[in-house]
Amino acid sequence: MGIDKESDIAANLQIGPTSAGMVRIYVEAEGGIELPLDFDPDEAEEIAEELRAAAEAARSMGSASAPKGKKGR
């Protein structure tokens, strides 16, 4: 599945620090799939920067396709 392909799979996402000094992104998906992903703080900051950049790109794509006078959602 590509990054730009829609999916009907639902998942829960949790993000927080671990007792070992890591940042954990925990994904729990339908069917009992549990995926804990641990990152050191520097890696977590890089991921955060990528998320911000992707959000900004998505925001600009949404506003380009929104009708005049309305904001994209």
53 domain residue, yes or no: yes
Number of folded domains in the chain?
Answer: 1
SS3 content of the chain, % helix, strand, coil (to 5): 35, 30, 35
Report residue 56 CA to chain centroid gap. 13
Where in the sequence is the domain holding 30, given as residue range(s)? 11-65
55 domain residue, yes or no: yes
**Looking at the predicted structure, is the pLDDT value of residue 67 above 60?**
no
**Looking at the predicted structure, is the pLDDT value of residue 73 above 50?**
no
59 domain residue, yes or no: yes
Alpha carbons 49 and 66: distance in angstroms, whole number: 26
- Angle, vertex CA 42, rays to CA 41 and CA 47, nearest 5: 95
What one-character DSSP code corresponds to residue 67? Answer: P
Question: Which pLDDT does position 36 carry in this prediction?
Answer: 98
